[in-house]
Amino acid sequence: MNNKCVLTVCSITVNKNELKPEDIIAIHRIPTKKGNIRPILLKLRNNNAKSSIMRKRTPMKAKGFRLVDDVTQRNQGLISRLFLHPDIKSAWFFNGSVFGQTNSEERIKFDIFDNIDNTISAFRNRNRKPMTGVSD
């Protein structure tokens, strides 16, 4: 592993205590088109280290660094299906899971094998408030 690269990555984190060199298992430069900056692929020891870094995306972006999750092809397909669904307003990948927000502002976690309509219905049935009291 390239120690210079590890130290550079550790030094650009927002709080230098968040990522220690021992948290990094592997680090690789990824090829890109000529003239572009080569991105770095980083494998971390545990999910806690990754989560603490990913929570700091906005301050890192302000410093000129962009952090992205490595989303599997199946999860990318699920996100695409969610965007095509008429009841879904937005979809995103966070902490290893895919989420969608409905037009009525409900945030729902989806799995790659889910039927989107069934998952939305099940979520609404689980979260439906029971009617109590006497109606007027």
- Which comes out higher in pLDDT, residue 28 or 121? 121
In this prediction the pTM is 0.64
> What is the residue whose two structure tokens read 């948290």?
23
And the tokens for 101?
């927000």
Residue 3 pLDDT > 90: no
Burial (Cβ within 10 Å: 0-12, 13-18, ≥19) of residue 120: buried
Q: How far apart are CA 103 and CA 113, in angstroms?
A: 22
Q: Return the pLDDT at 88.
A: 96
**pLDDT-above-90 percentage for the chain:** 37
Among the ranges given (2-6, 22-26, 111-115), the one the predictor scored with the smallest mean pLDDT: 2-6
pLDDT at 134: 56
Averaged pLDDT score across all residues of the chain: 83
Report yes or no: 41 and 30 within 8 Å, Cβ to Cβ. yes
Count Cβ atoms within 10 A of the Cβ of residue 34 and give its class: 0-12 exposed, 13-18 middle, 19 or more buried: exposed
Query: Which of 54, 53, 9, 56 is CA-nearest to residue 29?
Result: 9
Of the two residues 117 and 132, the one the predictor is more confident about is 117
The SS3 call for residue 92 is strand
73-94: average pLDDT? 95
Residue-wise pLDDT for 53-68, tens only, equals 787 778 778 877 788 8
User: Helix or strand or coil: residue 20?
Assistant: coil
Q: Tell me the sheet residues that pair with 44.
A: 24
Q: How far is residue 14's CA from residue 78's CA, in Å, rounded to a whole number?
A: 32
